[in-house]
Chains A and B, each alone.
Chain A
Amino acid sequence: MLTVFSTTGNYVLLMQKVFSRPQKRRIFWTQLITEINSLGLESLGIVAFISAFMGAVVAIQTAYNITSPLIPMSMVGFTVRQSVILEFSPTVISLILAGKVGSRIASEIGTMRVTEQIDALEIMGVNSANYLIFPKIVASMLINPVLIVFSMWMGILGGWLAMVATGLVSTNDFVQGIRIDFLGYTIFYALTKTVFFAFLISSISGFYGYITQGGALEVGQASTKAVVFSSVMIILFNLVLTQLLLT
């Protein structure tokens, strides 16, 4: 229990150092663009792949379970849309990103710590926490919503392609289902969750990388901890945010 309080305290103290004005604005913008590319755009492939296949699976399972003639086949499109927008894209893709992006951030910063590169920054008078972690947090919070909107689109596209390929549901029915009772608020809900999760992934991973001590083994452990704790926090805050935003 003491460790939990101590770790939380250290995390808060680090965030205080992270959230300060960048020492050189021009350098910050350059870093931000680099991070948007490496943390966001390089994840497009995996996000597209997982989203399309998950959308297809949701569509096939829904179509397979509709046995009653009283339920219209447009329900397949409706179910795919709702599950993709409300839960699958913002939460599951964020969990995937916690693995991909979180381990990358923790191992990158952890390696810099054990090879004294962070000490070198400190000696120069650079606020190393701000210099290393802040651009990653901002980049994640900016690019993850873009990735999630892309994931939603790919998920629905995957569902539609699966229906067209299997002939279970016609394009007309599927599109009609997608349009039924659409609420713009669900997109707001999904993107709010996404931004929050992006902050959790980048800040927790940055924290575990920054406090690494030792060598290669400890960098690996920091990376694992970053992924595990980011994922746990995403699951916990998913419940909290859903309760807050949907009730």
Chain B
Amino acid sequence: MIEARNINKTFSGHHVLKDVTCAFEKGKTNLIIGESGSGKTVLMKCLVGLFEVDTGMVAYDNRNFTTMNFEQRKTLRKEIGMLFQGGALFDSMNVESNVMFPLNMFTSEPLEEKRERVNFVLKRVNLANVSRLMPSELSGGMRKRVAIARAIAMKPQYLFCDEPNSGLDPQTSGVIDHLIREITQEYNITTIVNTHDMNSVLSIGDSVAFIFKGQLWWNGDKETILHTENPELNEFVFGTELTSRLKR
């Protein structure tokens, strides 16, 4: 479980996160939703330590991440996998080297074992025969899947996904969503997904946190979100032509 307690974050006088407190459970796909600029990416970056919180704390299974030093965080980070919005694959490495990178950095396994693990995770994300390709030769969906493979190569306990569906067609988005959910349940990990895609919310949202103007505005799941009376959340959920028609 990952907990955020009373997190505040300010950038140049602009209060981006205001006293956010929420918990993300193990074995569930926990979604953070909100409109662009609401602070959800900042919240995720605070959770993984890319941004330091001004006040408040982040805890990973009761381990206080906020007070950890660089070495302690380095140890914990071996348990974290992250999928970035654009994939963040290393341009100078092919797919195999990208996925093998954390294994090379943090394990002393022989090459054959590492290669076996790479092939296993690539197969797990339904990618075959792409090991020799460079990131520039992959489609958007393939990049995301390679990034997921790299994120799970070290068998993480915590998986973070920052807008995994951005720039993807609805069908490929669905594939990525289901992959994230399957991996979460299969490895019983704590997964946090940052999204504003309502399709994702309705298909994989075991737990949903709605961030509005830097505050935790609503907490629930994919079932309750459709029947909420919260006006700001309703505006977000039924804000598109398609969803508003469905509501009618």
Residues of chain A at the chain B interface (Cβ within 8 Å): 23-24, 27, 111-112, 115-117, 119-120, 122-126
Contacts and interface: CB of A to CB of B under 8 A. Distances in A.
A109 to B, nearest CB: 12
A40 B69 CA distance: 37
Contact of B77 (A23, A27, A111, A125): A125
Give the interface centre of A24, A117, A124, A126 by most chain B CB atoms within 10 Å.
Answer: A124
11 contacts: A24-B104, A24-B105, A27-B104, A27-B105, A120-B88, A122-B50, A123-B48, A124-B77, A124-B78, A124-B102, A125-B73
Contacts of A23: 105
A203 B49 CA distance: 26
Contact of B84 (A24, A111, A116): A116
A43 to B, nearest CB: 19
Contacts, number: 49
Nearest to B90: A117
Interface string B182-211: 000000000000000000000000000000
Interface of B: 48-50, 73-78, 80, 82, 84-86, 88-91, 101-102, 104-106, 160
Contacts of B91: 111-112, 115, 117
Contacts of A111: 91
Given A117-B90, A123-B160, 19 more contacts: A23-B105, A27-B105, A111-B91, A112-B90, A112-B91, A115-B88, A115-B91, A116-B86, A116-B88, A117-B88, A117-B89, A119-B50, A122-B49, A123-B82, A124-B78, A124-B106, A125-B105, A125-B106, A126-B105
The 9 closest A-B pairs by CB, nearest first: A125-B77, A125-B74, A120-B88, A116-B88, A116-B84, A123-B82, A117-B88, A124-B102, A119-B50
A116 B50 CA distance: 11
A124 B152 CA distance: 11
A27 B108 CA distance: 12
A123 B48 CA distance: 7
Secondary structure dominating the interface of A: helix
Nearest to A27: B104
Contacts of B89: 117
Given A23-B105, A24-B105, A125-B106, A119 B84 contact: yes
A116 B86 CA distance: 8
Secondary structure dominating the interface of B: mixed
B154 to A, nearest CB: 8
Contacts of A122: 49-50
Nearest to A118: B88
A24 B109 CA distance: 13
A123 B81 CA distance: 7
Give the interface centre of A112, A116, A119, A120 by most chain B CB atoms within 10 Å.
Answer: A120
Give the interface centre of B73, B76, B105, B160 by most chain A CB atoms within 10 Å.
Answer: B105
Nearest to A124: B102
Nearest to B104: A27
Contacts of B86: 115-116
Given A23-B105, A120-B82, A125 B88 contact: no
Contacts of A24: 104-105
Contact of A123 (B75, B80, B85, B90): B80
Contacts of B90: 112, 117, 120
A124 B105 contact: yes
A125 B48 contact: no
B75 A125 contact: yes
A186 B91 CA distance: 43
Nearest to B154: A124
